Amino acid sequence: MTDCCTPKGAYDLAVVGAGSAGFSAAITAAEAGARVALIGDGTIGGTCVNFGCVPSKALIRAVEGLHHARAANRFDGIEAGARVTDWAATVVQKQALVEELRTAKYADVLPRHENIDYIEGRARFGDAGQLTVNGAVFPATKIIVATGSRPHVPTIPGIEQVDALDSTSALELTELPASLLVLGAGYIGVELAQLFARAGVAVTLVSRRGVLPEAEPEVSEALEGYLAEEGIRLARVAGYESVAREGGSMRLTGTGGENFEAERLLLATGRVPNSGGLNLAAAGVETDAQGGITVDAQMRTANPNVWAAGDVTGRDQFVYMAAYGAKLAARNAVSGEGRSYDNSTMPWVVFSDPQVAGVGLSEAQARAAGHEVVTSVLPLDAVPRALAARDTRGLIKLVADARSKRLLGAQILAPEGADSIQTAAMALKAGMTYEELGDTIMPYLTTVEGLKLAAQTFEKDVAALSCCAG
């Protein structure tokens, strides 16, 4: 570790932010021969390993065991049960995994790269546009900003006085509340609402646009029904009037006069870029209305010596896209390459149950882009894997261009759907038609076989096909 105030001469690249994007940029630049300063402020590793992906998915997997036991009676002759006996122990185990991965994938990685100096300090641009760390000018030829994002706090009267939870603090609770209001039904709200409901908490999920509003409407509607079947109360409001603590509970009032009460309130209304304290304007770096740093296809900002990547750009807030964008930024910055960011076949996953996964254009997006669209919607009860598992919750929707039959997008709602979406992503990347996907050999009794069946459904009645019919 290097003292931030006495850098060893000028660096080829300074990377501001020590999360996934920051590490990706620093390692990529170092491998290209650059001398790199990786500047971190706070816990090393960023959001994913510390507060997001790892802790949430660890706890989601933990409560899946509770659900599977309770649902075991869908098989004749089988009964099972499960309950939470020590939630604090579950959380401690989760935290141990976080610390293990933080060490293995971040802290222990740095010594393997001799030309990366890790520097602890607060970076910002000075009034003359130069990079500073803890107030001292920091010499670097090129700069990549990768400062991530934080939970959004909605503007609701009373919100600052009620000690609301966010996606970070909720995953640190060692004692489960009796009831919980979850505000926001995007992927964070859906995942956390189901997690706590399965752990035994009475959950109310309140939103303005419904469950997963960016997903296909067939997917959103079906998932909403499955969440309700698990006892999650779902409510839509036009807006939020106020929130207040009354005795031992929270009261949320909607603009239509609706009232919701619970022991705790969890804010899951998205994430906002960490760009506010960087004095970006002084460096000529522009931001959008939400604070995301504006970059071109090569990840360069309006300042020709500054690039940005990851959540701080406000787009594609997934850890793998942060790493991908940062790698491009580093190559372009230190090697003069002209690599362009391409998210056209970016897969995404919501770790609900059933899982939701997608890639490419939705039907609405495809129509807006000018395509003459044809779609296929296959219910999961047409997929042999789902029938054998006696769990037919879900569907598969494919979107294609009607004239060329080329696939444009796919969304899967299925208990094991997340691991199948990459097949659809590869099909889109290869420019496959739905006929070609329907002719692809896929293993029987797998969820991914549903993609083949959905592709065949464009022009065939799969009910008229025998098992494995090609």
pLDDT, residue 468, reads 65
460 is in an annotated binding site: no
For residues 172 and 286, membership in a common domain is answered with: no
In a domain, 466, yes or no: no
CATH number at residue 373: 3.30.390.30
185 is in an annotated binding site: yes
For residues 404 and 356, membership in a common domain is answered with: yes
In a domain, 340, yes or no: no
For residues 320 and 419, membership in a common domain is answered with: no
149 is in an annotated binding site: yes
In a domain, 6, yes or no: no
For residues 96 and 169, membership in a common domain is answered with: no
Q: Between 20-31 and 319-335, two packed helices, what is the crossing angle to 10 degrees?
A: 30
User: Position 259: which residue type?
Assistant: N
188 is in an annotated binding site: yes
Count of domains in the chain? Answer: 3
Which DSSP string corresponds to 356-401? Answer: EEEEE--HHHHHHTT--EEEEEEEGGGSHHHHHTT----EEEEEEE
Instruction: Say which residues have a Cβ less than 8 Å from residue 317's Cβ, sequence separation at least 6.
Output: 149, 271, 311
Q: Mind listing the pLDDT tens digit of every residue in the chain (470 residues)?
A: 444 444 556 999 999 999 999 999 999 999 999 999 999 998 999 999 999 999 999 999 999 999 999 999 999 999 999 999 999 999 999 999 999 999 999 999 999 999 999 999 999 999 999 999 999 999 999 999 999 999 999 999 999 999 999 999 999 999 999 999 999 999 999 999 999 999 999 999 999 999 999 999 999 999 999 999 999 999 999 999 999 998 889 999 999 999 999 999 999 999 999 999 999 999 999 999 999 999 999 999 999 999 999 999 999 999 999 999 999 999 999 999 999 999 999 999 999 999 999 999 999 999 999 999 999 999 999 999 999 999 999 999 999 999 999 999 999 999 999 999 999 999 999 999 999 999 999 999 999 999 999 999 999 988 877 776 55
For residues 144 and 276, membership in a common domain is answered with: yes
For residues 173 and 261, membership in a common domain is answered with: yes
How far is Cα 116 from Cα 111, in angstroms, rounded to an integer? 8
For residues 30 and 126, membership in a common domain is answered with: yes
pLDDT, residue 469, reads 56
Handedness of CA 383, 385, 389, 394 (dihedral sign): negative
Torsion of CA 90, 92, 98, 101, to 10 degrees: -100
148 is in an annotated binding site: yes
Helices (H), 32-133: 46-50, 53-70, 87-102
Return the structure tokens found at 278: 């960087």
For residues 330 and 360, membership in a common domain is answered with: no
Expressed as residue numbers, the domain containing 173 is: 159-269
For residues 18 and 134, membership in a common domain is answered with: yes
Handedness of CA 139, 144, 148, 152 (dihedral sign): positive
Q: What angle do CA 440, 360, 59 make, to 5 degrees?
A: 95
For residues 165 and 144, membership in a common domain is answered with: no
Beta strands in 402-450 (DSSP E): 407-414
In a domain, 309, yes or no: yes
Question: 439 with 470: CB under 8 angstroms?
Answer: yes
* Closest by Cα among 1, 279, 333 to 132: 279
For residues 30 and 115, membership in a common domain is answered with: yes
pTM over 0.85: yes
Helices H / strands E in the chain, number of each: 12, 22
pLDDT, residue 7, reads 52
For residues 409 and 381, membership in a common domain is answered with: yes
117 is in an annotated binding site: no
57 is in an annotated binding site: yes
pLDDT, residue 8, reads 58
186 is in an annotated binding site: yes
436 is in an annotated binding site: no
In a domain, 78, yes or no: no
Give the chain's length: 470
191 is in an annotated binding site: yes
User: Position 432: which residue type?
Assistant: M
394 is in an annotated binding site: no
How far is Cα 50 from Cα 167, in angstroms, rounded to an integer? 11
